[in-house]
A and B are shown apart, each in its own frame.
Chain A
Amino acid sequence: MKRLTFPFDEQTVRGLRAGDAVSITGRIYTGRDRFHKWFADGRPIPVCFRDGALYHCGPVVVRDEAAAGGWRVVAAGPTTSVRENPYEPDFIAATGVRIIIGKGGMDERTLAAMREHGCVYVQAVGGAGALYAASVARVAGVSLVSEFGAAEAVWHFDVADFRGVVAMDAHGRSLFADVAAVSERRLASSRRKCYTDGIRSSAGR
């Protein structure tokens, strides 16, 4: 497990390889569909992403005066990243973001931008909403909540031991592409085996 602590410098991020398990600690910002559209429309970005992390997440957050920061995070699992493909290469170039966290991976153009600017994609575990909520130690603030609503706002999370796997690295490698290619090759070879062969061979042993 590689431990990454905010700020995430370029050298550390370029040292990560697809397949590395990582644990992230420090500030991360959420941003999803409406935030990316906002950026593409040329509106001002409310926080600094340089050497930072962007999390594709629409959390369930409720007001709670007893909680640190006055907000309690109920669920904060990743949302599907492909919808941000059209915007992400420009976003990476413009902001200097180093880590993008989400689910399902992103396209070739984004992978190329990651290589050029020194950024990685971390796959969070889909469905693990309770655990990721618990990894948010404090909600430090929120931006654009009146514009986008709570699920689409830019939340400022201070996280501790937020776990994921580097699925796209800054060297042009994507685990998603590798796994798809391997599984398709193996599927093709399984088609050459016939169902009755299997029954005969297992019965023969």
Chain B
Amino acid sequence: MSLIERIVELIRETSSSLPEDVLRALRGALRRERAGSSASVVLGTILDNCALAAKRGVPLCQDTGMLVFFVHESLRRRVTPVLLGRAVALATERGYLRRNTIDPVSGKSFDDNCAEGVPAVRYCDRPGVTLIMKGGGSENMSRQYSLPDSSLGAGRDLEGVRRCLLDAVVRAQGYGCAPGVLGVCIGGDRAAGYEVAKEQLLRPLDAAGASEDPRLRALERRVLREANSLGIGPMGLGGGTTLLGVRVAARPRVPASFFVTVAYMCWAARRRTMMP
């Protein structure tokens, strides 16, 4: 199979099958919710939907999202933005992706999902080619805080960060298609904040993906536990599963700034890696 066909296949698989760690988290959540409750009905529907989409190889959600490719530095000359664009155009033609790219000035659609900066490509030290697909409903729930924030009583410390994260969860309610995942960046400038926060969504939800820094690992666990006690639940209809995971990273900041950036990911946390 040619490289371009293998990328098309990566797109199809990412769009139709959730990663195993996300499925495990959803199944675990279903076991914990009371049978017959709204939460259990919603989680059951989500899992049935995932099984059906995987079986048929069709998009599991009609919002196939904004595509970001993370490509290892060493592949810069083989896996070029042009090649990735051609793969996206092919995948769109075959119905693996919705026509999802709009010119914000004219309102017209780029029918092949290719335009300046789209799909997004980032060369980094992550092995292979990793694709993440994030829908608009969840992206609308992402936000950035600047500490101190007196409305939250949040100062420039981990307690302040905790307050921001719980505030983001309450503001999102079910509108970002809960249960979601929080990717978080503490520090950085505003642009790095959003970029690094989104990158944290690539980390698995099981123990292998937990932060190596014990302070951040404790924060991840605590916010997950506290968010799930808020009662928001799947799709905001109530229940004990509001988040599937929290993944935090920290980046240096300048003395004058202290940003906390939250990338909210929906339950359809689509990501996948291939080795070309």
Contact = CB atoms under 8 A, between A and B. Distances in A.
Contact of A183 (B48, B135, B177, B230): B230
B159 A175 contact: no
B159 A194 contact: yes
Q: Could you say which interface size class chain A belongs to?
A: 35 or more
A75 B59 contact: yes
A21 B38 contact: yes
A41 interface: no
Interface string B2-37: 000000000000000000000000000000000011
A179 B238 contact: yes
Nearest to B159: A195
Interface in A15-44: 19, 21
Contacts of A131: 45, 48-49, 52-53
Nearest to B160: A195
Interface in B134-189: 135, 137, 152-153, 157-159, 162-163, 166-167, 170, 173-175, 177
A165 B60 contact: no
B230 A74 contact: no
Q: Counting chain B CB atoms within 10 Å of each CB, which of A132, A176, A179, A191 scores highest?
A: A179
B195 interface: no
B180 to A, nearest CB: 11
B42 A187 contact: no
B58 interface: yes
Interface residues of B, number: 52
A190 B166 contact: yes
B276 interface: no
Contacts of B36: 1, 21
A146 to B, nearest CB: 19
B62 A123 contact: no
A91 B135 CA distance: 30
A136 to B, nearest CB: 13
B45 A130 contact: no
A191 B153 contact: yes
B61 A127 contact: yes
Contacts of B162: 195
A196 B238 contact: no
B240 to A, nearest CB: 12
B49 A127 contact: yes
A77 B61 contact: yes
B18 to A, nearest CB: 11
A128 B170 contact: no
28 contacts: A60-B98, A76-B62, A77-B61, A80-B137, A123-B237, A126-B177, A127-B60, A127-B61, A127-B62, A127-B135, A127-B177, A127-B268, A128-B60, A130-B49, A130-B52, A131-B49, A134-B52, A165-B38, A175-B238, A176-B174, A178-B238, A179-B232, A183-B170, A184-B170, A187-B166, A194-B159, A195-B159, A199-B218
Interface of B: 36-38, 41-42, 45-46, 48-49, 52-53, 56, 58-63, 95, 98, 135, 137, 152-153, 157-159, 162-163, 166-167, 170, 173-175, 177, 218, 222, 226, 229-238, 266-268
